[in-house]
Structure 1
Amino acid sequence: MLKSEILNAPLLAALAKCGHTDIVVIADCGLPLPEGPLVIDLALVQGLPSLDQVLEVLARNMVIENSTLAAEAENGPVQELCLARDLDPDFISHEELKAQLPQAKVIVRTGEATPYANAILHCGVAF
C-alpha cells in the first residue's frame, strides 16, 4: 500500500510518471483542453475544488522548479497563491499559455471559476 495524501488514483499515477522538465497544468473549469495530454478532471461544481486547494496539495507532493501564469493574472489572487507557496511565477500571455497546453504531461481540471486561474507547474528534481 502506497502512503500518500493524494487519494485520487489516476492523479497519483500521473504524477508518479512525471520527471524533470515535465509540466503539470492546473486548469480552471473554463480553460479549453487540448487533445493529447492526460486530463484528470477533479471539477465537482463551480468553485470546487478551487485552484488554491489543488495547488496546496500538489505543492506538498511535487518538486516544482517554477510556475507560469497568464500575464492577465499578474498582481491578482492567482499570483498571490503561487507566491504563498514560494512559486515565484513567470508570466506569458493567456494565448501563449493555451498554446503550451499540448506539451503538458498532465492537466488537472478544477472547479475554479476565477478568470485566468490556470497555472503551469514545471517539475523539478529532488536532488
Structure 2
Amino acid sequence: MAITLSLCRLCLSLLSFSTLFISETFRWWSESMKKAVLLNADISSVISRLGHTDRVVIGDAGLPIPDTTVRIDMALTHNVPTFLQVVAAVTSEMQVEVAIVAEEMAEKNPTLHNALLDQLKHLEIHQGNSIELHYVSHEDFKIQSGKSRAIIRSGECSPYANVILCAGVTF
C-alpha cells in the first residue's frame, strides 16, 4: 500500500512537471514563431548573418551565378516569382543602404527600372533612411555579384532585372 501511494505521488509530480514543461515550451514556441513576410529559410539565414555593407543579389532567371557563390533558386517557371516580388520579400527583413543596378536596365527595361526605383523610394520611407543608387555596366555588375553573400534567382524573364542590395544598419 505504501509503495502504491508513493508511486501515485511520483506520477502526480511527474504529471505536474510535464504539464509545466509543455506549457513553457509552447509559450516559447509561440513567442518565437516568425511573423515577418519572408518565409524562405535560406534567405532568412543569409539576411540574419549579414554585416554592414555585405551584399545580396536578386537576379533574373538568366543571371550567371558563380559556383563559389551561394545560390538560392526561387525560380519556378517563367516570371514566377517576379523580380519585384523577390525584392519586396527580401527587403521586408533586410536593411538596405545601397542598391546597385546595371546601367542597361534603365535603357533596355525602363518599366521594370522605374518600378524598382518606386519600390526603393517606399523602402526608404519604411526604413527611415536614404538608399544610395549606383549604376555600373552589366559586365561589372556580374563581377560584383560574384562577391556577394548570396545570389537569389527569381523567375523573371526580362532583360537586366538584377539588383545588388548592400546591407545597412538599423541603429
TM over 0.5: yes
Letter in 2 for 1:10: D
Match of 1:117 in 2: 161
Q: Deviations over 1:25-66 (max 9, x none)?
A: 001000111122211100000100001101112222211002
SS at match of 2:113: helix
The number of residues matched between the two structures is 127
Structure 1 spans left out of the alignment, 5+ residues: none
Segment drifting more, 55-64 vs 24-33: 55-64
Corresponding position: 1:37 with 2:69: yes
Corresponding position: 1:5 with 2:37: yes
For residue 99 of structure 1, report the CA deviation from its aligned partner.
Answer: 0.7
Distance 2:78 2:132 in 1: 27
Q: Give 1:41-60 correspondences, 5 Å limit.
A: 41-60=73-92
For residue 88 of structure 1, report the CA deviation from its aligned partner.
Answer: 5.5
Distance 2:138 2:66 in 1: 15
The CA RMSD over aligned residues, in Å, is 1.4
Identical amino acids, percent of aligned pairs: 37
* Corresponding residue to 1:18 among 50, 53, 59: 50
Query: Considering only CA atoms, is the larger Rg found in Structure 1 or Structure 2?
Result: 2
Structure 2 spans left out of the alignment, 5+ residues: 1-32, 122-130
Q: TM-score, normalised by structure 2?
A: 0.70
- Structure with the bigger percentage of helix: 2
